[in-house]
């Protein structure tokens, strides 16, 4: 089988390529270049997709004896991910750029592109998730073995047709097992730190990044009843549920409840007002047809606990999602992923907390 491996220059994708080569497949390493400047920001963390990562991917491919190509997709990445990210923050939302990137650039789109131009049979990635044929649901994505590293949530927006040509070779391993394989095979990236930040932020906060691009957009911070408590440099510096860094004194702890882009206001209030059990989404990306869904759980952010869904009601062009219990900080712009146990049923982007 002719399999392209999306090689980020990290240990997960490198071991994925190794596994597939040892299984006898014709393997091609493919690396996407999104940046032209180095992205390492000190010793505390590493940021992926930098020129050094491209070099690491090429050198690992050389070690493995597989061909390697680099695609310079800086402009595609800017239009489909960075511009989206900036516009969402300016609109008072908190986007998940990694989930969007998996759909628009480096997983689903890349698979379709390589299928057309390189006649590949499959695209493999180093995601910690599993793709398998389920007896009830068909070909599905499941949570990875290493739940502390599970990345199925970030794959919730990829179109279901992409599942037919995707492979996730390390999803059944823990991170420690992946590194041990890399060490035994002498791969140069065996001890390389994981990327832990949004790659294009280069160590900046979202607010710092957007302010550098767009400048200050000063406005006011107000209580729920409209009392002005302070000022801000731009609503893009805040997200729903935030408590620290507000720069105000309200006499008690207050939290960001809402971001009003039209009035350029940050609305704050008591913690209990952050809790809700209903939200609205637009289209749901169904990996499994909804009529086959059974017991459904919703995960409203990457590290949140999945909560059982009471009902999903079609309303106009969207859906109202009703949870069995109130959860804190439902945030417009974030991804909601739907699961049955470990099986990813689909996902959407939160439009509104109800």
* pLDDT single digits (tens) 250-299: 888 999 999 999 999 999 999 999 999 999 999 999 999 999 998 999 99
Judgement on whether residues 87 and 25 belong to the same structural domain of the protein? yes
Q: Is residue 281 part of a domain?
A: yes
Q: What CATH number is attached to the domain comprising 307?
A: 2.40.30.10
Judgement on whether residues 26 and 120 belong to the same structural domain of the protein? yes
Catalytic one of 39, 48, 49, 199: 199
Contact 145, 172 (CB under 8 A): yes
Tokens of 154: 């970030």
pLDDT digits (tens, 9 = 90+) for 212-235: 999 999 999 999 999 999 999 999
What residues make up the domain containing 229? 216-269
Q: Is residue 209 part of a domain?
A: no
Alpha-carbon distances, residue 79 vs 82, 134, 210 (angstroms):
6, 36, 15
According to the model, what pLDDT value does residue 43 have?
Answer: 39
Judgement on whether residues 101 and 229 belong to the same structural domain of the protein? no
Catalytic one of 39, 48, 49, 101: 101
Q: At what angle do helices 11-22 and 175-184 cross, to 10 degrees?
A: 60
87 contacts: CB under 8 Å, gap ≥ 6: none
Burial tier of 202 (Cβ tally within 10 Å: 0-12, 13-18, 19+): middle
Please name the residue that has the structure tokens 């014709």.
26
Q: Is residue 207 part of a domain?
A: no
Give, as one character, the DSSP assignment of residue 196. -
Q: Is residue 132 part of a domain?
A: yes
SS3 letters across 243-290: CCCCCCCCCCCCEEEEEECCCCEEEEECHHHHEEEEEEECCCEECCCH
Judgement on whether residues 304 and 247 belong to the same structural domain of the protein? no
Q: Is residue 210 part of a domain?
A: no
Q: Of the candidates 83, 197, 102, which has an alpha carbon nearest to the alpha carbon of residue 141?
A: 102
Q: Tell which of 269, 284, 302 closes a domain.
A: 269
Q: Is residue 263 part of a domain?
A: yes
Question: Would you list the DSSP string of 116-143?
Answer: HHS--SEEE---SEEEEEETTTEEEEEE
Q: Count of domains in the chain? A: 3
CA distance 307 to 156: 16
According to the model, what pLDDT value does residue 350 have?
Answer: 98
CA distance 191 to 222: 48
CA distance 120 to 118: 6
Q: Of the candidates 304, 314, 307, 291, which has an alpha carbon nearest to the alpha carbon of residue 339?
A: 307
According to the model, what pLDDT value does residue 38 have?
Answer: 54
Please name the residue that has the structure tokens 């997960």.
12
Q: What CATH number is attached to the domain comprising 80?
A: 3.40.50.620
Residue 262 burial (CB count, 10 A): 7
Please name the residue that has the structure tokens 């008072």.
92
Q: Is residue 159 part of a domain?
A: yes
Q: What CATH number is attached to the domain comprising 254?
A: 2.30.30.280
Q: What is the pLDDT along the chain (354 residues), one digit of tens a residue?
A: 999 999 999 999 999 999 999 999 999 999 999 876 655 444 344 455 567 888 999 999 999 999 999 999 999 999 999 999 999 999 999 999 999 999 999 999 999 999 999 999 999 999 999 999 999 999 999 999 999 999 999 999 999 999 999 999 999 999 999 999 999 999 999 988 887 678 888 889 999 999 999 999 999 999 999 999 999 999 999 999 999 989 898 888 999 999 999 999 999 999 999 999 999 999 999 999 999 998 999 999 998 999 999 999 999 989 999 999 999 999 999 999 999 999 999 999 999 999
Judgement on whether residues 284 and 153 belong to the same structural domain of the protein? no
Element (H, E) at 102: none
**3-state class (DSSP) for residue 176:** helix
183 phi and psi, to 5 degrees? -65, -45
Q: Tell which of 143, 174, 201 closes a domain.
A: 201
Q: Is 101 a catalytic site residue?
A: yes
Judgement on whether residues 64 and 169 belong to the same structural domain of the protein? yes
Q: Is residue 206 part of a domain?
A: no
Judgement on whether residues 153 and 68 belong to the same structural domain of the protein? yes
CA distance 159 to 304: 23
CA distance 118 to 271: 53
Tokens of 294: 């059974």
Judgement on whether residues 146 and 245 belong to the same structural domain of the protein? no
**Strand 297-299 versus strand 307-315 pairing type:** antiparallel
Q: Is 39 a catalytic site residue?
A: no
According to the model, what pLDDT value does residue 194 have?
Answer: 81
Q: Tell which of 201, 225, 245 closes a domain.
A: 201
Tokens of 95: 């986007």
Centroid of chain to Cα 48:
13
CA distance 300 to 333: 10
Judgement on whether residues 258 and 297 belong to the same structural domain of the protein? no
Judgement on whether residues 161 and 233 belong to the same structural domain of the protein? no
Judgement on whether residues 155 and 9 belong to the same structural domain of the protein? yes
Contact 142, 344 (CB under 8 A): yes
Judgement on whether residues 180 and 252 belong to the same structural domain of the protein? no
Element (H, E) at 336: strand 335-340
């Amino acid at each position: 089988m002719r399999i392209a491996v999306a090689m980020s220059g990290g240990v997960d994708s490198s071991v994925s390529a190794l596994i597939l080569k040892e299984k006898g497949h014709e393997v091609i390493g493919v690396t996407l270049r999104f940046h032209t400047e180095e992205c390492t920001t000190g010793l505390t963390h590493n940021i992926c997709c930098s020129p050094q990562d491209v070099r690491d991917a090429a050198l690992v491919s050389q070690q493995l004896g597989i061909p390697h190509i680099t695609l310079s997709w800086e402009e595609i990445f800017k239009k489909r991910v960075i511009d989206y990210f900036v516009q969402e923050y300016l609109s008072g939302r908190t986007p998940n750029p990694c989930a969007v990137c998996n759909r628009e650039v480096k997983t689903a789109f890349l698979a379709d592109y390589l299928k057309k131009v390189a006649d590949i049979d499959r695209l493999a990635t180093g995601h910690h998730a599993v793709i398998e044929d389920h007896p009830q649901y068909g070909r599905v994505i499941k949570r990875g073995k290493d739940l502390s590293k599970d990345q199925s949530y970030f794959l919730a927006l990829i179109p279901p047709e992409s599942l037919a040509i995707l492979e996730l070779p390390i999803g059944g391993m823990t991170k420690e097992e992946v590194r041990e394989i890399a060490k035994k095979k002498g791969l140069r990236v065996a001890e390389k730190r994981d990327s832990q930040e949004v790659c294009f932020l280069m160590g900046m906060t979202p607010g710092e990044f957007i302010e550098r691009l767009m400048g200050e957009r000063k406005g006011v911070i107000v209580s729920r009843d409209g009392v002005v408590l302070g000022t801000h440099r731009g609503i893009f510096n805040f997200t729903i549920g935030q408590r620290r860094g507000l720069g105000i004194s309200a006499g008690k702890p207050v939290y960001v409840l809402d971001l009003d882009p039209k009035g350029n206001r940050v609305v704050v209030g008591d913690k209990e007002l952050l809790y809700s059990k209903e939200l609205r989404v637009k289209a749901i990306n169904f990996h499994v047809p909804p009529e086959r869904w059974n017991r459904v759980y919703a995960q409203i952010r990457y590290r949140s606990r999945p909560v059982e869904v009471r009902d999903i009601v079609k309303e106009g062009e969207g859906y109202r999602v009703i949870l069995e219990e109130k959860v804190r900080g439902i945030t417009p712009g974030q991804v909601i992923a739907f699961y049955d146990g470990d099986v990813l049923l689909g996902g959407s982007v939160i439009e509104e907390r109800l």
